[in-house]
Amino acid sequence: MNAYIKNQIELFKEKNKNRGCLLVSCPDQPGIVAAISQFLFSYNANIIESSQYSTNPEGGTFFIRIEFECPNLKEKAKEMENQFAEIVEQFSMEWNFTHVYHVKKAAIFVSKELHCLLELLWEWQSGDLMTNIALVISNHETAKEVVEGLNIPFYYVPANKDIRGQAETTQLKLLKEYEIDFVVLARYMQILSPKFVEENPNKIINIHHSFLPAFVGARPYERAFDRGVKLIGATSHYVTNDLDEGPIIEQDISRVDHHDNVDSLKKIGRRIERSVLARAVKWHIEDRIIVHQNKTIVF
C-alpha cells in the first residue's frame, strides 16, 4: 500500500472512530424503530442516517439501516451488543453491528480483462472506495505490473477446471493469511467450487457481463448479438452455488441497435461493467446491503 492511501485510511479511521452502523431485519410489527432509537439514546448516541423498508406492514418483513455517532464507541461497543440482545429476542431480529472505522480488507480476483480491476484501483486511489485492497489474485499474469506498481501484493495462481481444487486451496490460504473480509471477482473467468463459496457466504461479489437473468453463463455478448437485443447490461451480485443466480446488488443498461457488432457490444458493455461493480463494492463496504432470501435490500 502506498503512503498516500495509507494516510487516507488513517484519516478515515480517526474521523469515524465513534461511528457505528446497525443493520436489522425482523417480522414487521409496531415498536421496532422506537425500541432501537431508545436503545441508542440510552448510550447518548446520535442517529446520523436512517433508512427503512417493509415488504408488507401486515405480516411482512421489516428492514432498517441506522448509522450513528456515539461518544467513546470502542469502549461501549461490547456492552451495547450484549444489551441489544434483549431487543433482538423481543422482535426476533437478525442483525449486524459494525464499526464504520473498520476498513474492510478486500481480495480482488481477475483474469485477462483488466477494465473492472482498473476501475476499482482508480476509485481506491482517489479515496472514493474506502477499503484496503490487500492483494490481487489472478490465473494470468496480465495484471502483475499494474498491481505491483501500486505496492499491492500480486499472486499468480493458475486455475482451470482440472486443477480447481489445488488452486482454491492456495487461494483460501491466502485469504486467511491476509485476514480478508470479502472477495471481488473483477472478471475472474473461473467457476468457484461449492466449498469456496460456502466458506465466504455473501462475501463474494461478482460482475456478470449481461443484464441478468438474461444470458447466464459464458459468451453473453455473442448470444445477445445473435438474439438482436436492443439493450445490453451488466449485473453485480453475490456469488452462490447457482451460476449467476445469486442476490443481485446492482445493474445498469445501455441501448444498442442493429449497427452494433459483437466487438462494439463488448466495448459498450465494459463501461457498464466497470461502474456497476464499483457501486456494488462501495455499498458492500459501507454496510448498505441486507440479503434476504435471494434478494437484496440496498439502503
Residue 131 lies in a domain: yes
Residue 11 lies in a domain: no
Residue 1 lies in a domain: no
In this structure, the answer to whether residues 278 and 131 fall within a common structural domain is yes
pLDDT at 1: 67
For cell 478486500, name the residue: 106
Active site annotation includes 252: no
Q: Which structural domain range is residue 280 located in?
A: 105-298
Residue 5 lies in a domain: no
| Domain count within the chain | 2
- CB-CB contact of 112 with 270 (8 Å): no
Q: How far apart are CA 124 and CA 12, in angstroms?
A: 13
In this structure, the answer to whether residues 294 and 279 fall within a common structural domain is yes
In this structure, the answer to whether residues 58 and 155 fall within a common structural domain is no
Grid coordinates belonging to 105: 480488507
In this structure, the answer to whether residues 26 and 121 fall within a common structural domain is no
- Asked which of 99, 119, 140 is the last residue of a domain, the reply is 99
In this structure, the answer to whether residues 122 and 148 fall within a common structural domain is yes
In this structure, the answer to whether residues 110 and 193 fall within a common structural domain is yes
Residue 249 lies in a domain: yes
In this structure, the answer to whether residues 45 and 144 fall within a common structural domain is no
In this structure, the answer to whether residues 127 and 253 fall within a common structural domain is yes
In this structure, the answer to whether residues 194 and 246 fall within a common structural domain is yes
| CATH number reported for the structural domain that contains residue 73 in this entry | 3.30.70.260
pLDDT in tens, the chain (299 residues): 677 888 889 999 999 999 999 999 999 999 999 999 999 999 999 999 999 999 998 889 999 999 999 999 999 999 999 999 999 999 999 999 999 999 999 999 999 999 999 999 999 999 899 999 999 999 999 999 999 999 999 999 999 989 999 999 999 999 999 999 999 999 999 999 999 999 999 999 999 999 999 999 999 999 999 999 999 999 999 999 999 999 999 999 999 999 999 999 999 999 999 999 999 999 999 999 999 999 999 99
Q: pTM higher than 0.85 for the full model?
A: yes
pLDDT at 53: 97
- Asked which of 84, 99, 114 is the last residue of a domain, the reply is 99
- CB-CB contact of 167 with 158 (8 Å): yes
Amino acid at 94: E
In this structure, the answer to whether residues 235 and 267 fall within a common structural domain is yes
Which entry of 244, 257, 260, 263 is annotated as an active-site residue?
A: 244
Residue 12 lies in a domain: no
Residue 4 lies in a domain: no
In this structure, the answer to whether residues 123 and 65 fall within a common structural domain is no
In this structure, the answer to whether residues 224 and 76 fall within a common structural domain is no
- Asked which of 99, 115, 146 is the last residue of a domain, the reply is 99
Give the helix/strand (H/E) hosting 223.
helix 220-227
pLDDT at 59: 85
pLDDT at 57: 82
Residue 57 lies in a domain: yes
Q: What is the pairing mode between strands 132-138 and 105-110?
A: parallel
